[in-house]
Chains A and B, each alone.
Chain A
Amino acid sequence: MSKLLRAGFARLGKTRIFWLLTSFSAAFALFMCVVCYKDMKLSGETVDVGQLMLNYSTVIGIVTAVFASLYLGAEYSDGTVRNKITAGHKRFDIYVSNLTVTTAVGLYAYVVFITVAAAVGIPLLGRIIMPLPRLFALLGCIFASSAAYSGIFTFITMTVSGRTVAAVASLLCALALIMAALTCINVLGQDKEILTGSVTDSESGKVEWVYAPNPRYPSESERILYRTLVDINPAGQMYQLAGREEPNLTLLPLCALSEFAAFTVLGAFIFKRKDLR
């Protein structure tokens, strides 16, 4: 296992996708800093660098999907997986070592983002306003959700036959998770009452504003359903942690780590019986 891990991490530095991912994470942090700086200049409002550091969480799913499909996909197409089995490595070890590399790279990409955001953001935008213990707790939860993403995409890439199919499936899965999360958050964010205006005097155009019940407000059972869907979806977890909603910092990492464990067990089980051709 340690040999597989050492080989996996040694190969990382030689792959273009790893450096592309590093550059993208750094460039995205720079872009966010510049956009926030322009907004700050325009509006005069203070920007919290801590909040800025949380924003990459909404994108990291797609980044992890791209990396897993290209890096692990190459293992299949180059026959590396077969070679590892021929060399006497257990299938479980191969799966776990690939999962470890994918998870580590997901976390590494986030650390690159945070580092650049702090290095450029603090001199440009000011200090971190958010209390540091809360920022670290949120980042810890983001890392757990990032691990859940890695678990899902490693599962897809290692179990789906056909490298291109696995790559497309991973990316579409990342997009579907994001769209599902946004839909659920949108439903949960509906106000119980909405302000409606009606013209009371057509000549003067006077409008009377009254609060009326919002027909789109979900019922209690619907709220529980949508809340559960947001909490178990890694994209939903990320949107909550990025500040779209007040996150539950105990439940979210628990959900994320459970998913990580469930996908690993299922993936290792399927991979053990898979016809590698």
Chain B
Amino acid sequence: MNKLLHAGIVRLLTRKSLWISCAATFLFEAVAIVENYISAKDIGIIPSLDSIFFMFMLGVMFLVPVAAAFFIGPEHHDGAIRGKLATGARRRDVYISNLCLSALAAVMICASGVIAGLAFGLPLLGGFETGAAKAAVMISCAFFISVSVAAISTVIMMLIWNSTVSSVAVIVAAILIFAVGFYIHNRLSAPEMTNAYVMVVNGEVIEPQPIPNRNYIAPGTLRSALEFVDAALPGGQLVSLVNESVPHPALMILYSAALFMVVTAVGVAVFEKKDLR
């Protein structure tokens, strides 16, 4: 296992795709903060760093699968996995070493976003409104989400033998997870009452009156089920983090860890019995 990890780290650090993903995340976060600062300066109200800090997670959602695709994909294609098994490595160790390396790549990509956020956000937008301790917890959540995305990417990459098909599948999965998370989070965020209409009578603006929101999902089985999916899957977690709506960060970390364990257990079990051809 140590040998597999050692060889993997050397190979991972030489992958251009990893460094491009890190640079892209850094750039994405930096541009988001600078652009927000410039726009906000025109209005005269500087937003808090909290409201923009986790924008880089949108990049992480798609770049972690890309990094995993370029790292694990060639293992199948070049016959490296068969080579490892031929030298006596156990299938479980091969899987877990690749998972650890994907998780390391995810942590590096996420760290690039965090560094950019702190480097540009602190001087331009000031500190976190919620305080450093809360911000640290939220940043931990971001790392956990990134690692759970890495676990999902690893299971797809390790179980689909064809490297092109697995690369496409892993990115399509990221798109679906994000789209479903976004949709569910939006549905759950719909308020019970809404100020839907603003009336202007003879040039005078009448104050909006609250009316019942037809998109509101009332408490019940459907809402509970959607809340669970929203809290448990990386798509919903990511949207919650970007929208600053994480009431229970500990629960988010717990769900991410649980997802990581479940996905890995399933992945190892299937990979143990897989025909490697």
Interface of A toward B, CB cutoff 8 Å: 42-43, 62, 66, 69-70, 73-74, 77, 163-165, 167-168, 171-172, 175, 195, 207, 209-211, 215-216
Contact = CB atoms under 8 A, between A and B. Distances in A.
Interface of B: 39, 42-43, 62, 66, 69-70, 73-74, 77, 163-165, 167-168, 171-172, 175, 198, 205, 207, 214
Contact of A171 (B70, B77, B171, B207): B171
B214 A167 contact: no
A34 to B, nearest CB: 14
Secondary structure at chain B's binding surface: helix, strand, loop or mixed?
helix
Given A70-B168, A167-B167, A171-B168, 15 more contacts: A43-B214, A62-B172, A164-B70, A164-B73, A164-B77, A164-B164, A167-B168, A168-B69, A168-B167, A168-B171, A172-B62, A207-B207, A210-B205, A215-B42, A216-B43
B203 to A, nearest CB: 10
A164 B172 contact: no
A69 B170 CA distance: 14
B211 to A, nearest CB: 13
Contacts of A210: 205
Nearest to B170: A168
A66 B165 CA distance: 9
A209 B205 contact: yes
Contacts of A66: 168, 172
A177 B165 CA distance: 22
A172 B175 CA distance: 11
Centre residue among B62, B167, B198, B214 by max chain A CB count within 10 A: B167
Contacts of A74: 164
Contacts of B164: 69-70, 73-74, 77, 163-164, 167
B59 to A, nearest CB: 11
Centre residue among B43, B62, B171, B172 by max chain A CB count within 10 A: B171
A209 B175 contact: no
Contact of B39 (A73, A168, A172, A215): A215
Nearest to A171: B171
Contact of A209 (B73, B165, B207): B207
A74 B165 CA distance: 10
A171 B39 CA distance: 31
A175 B175 contact: yes
A207 B214 CA distance: 26
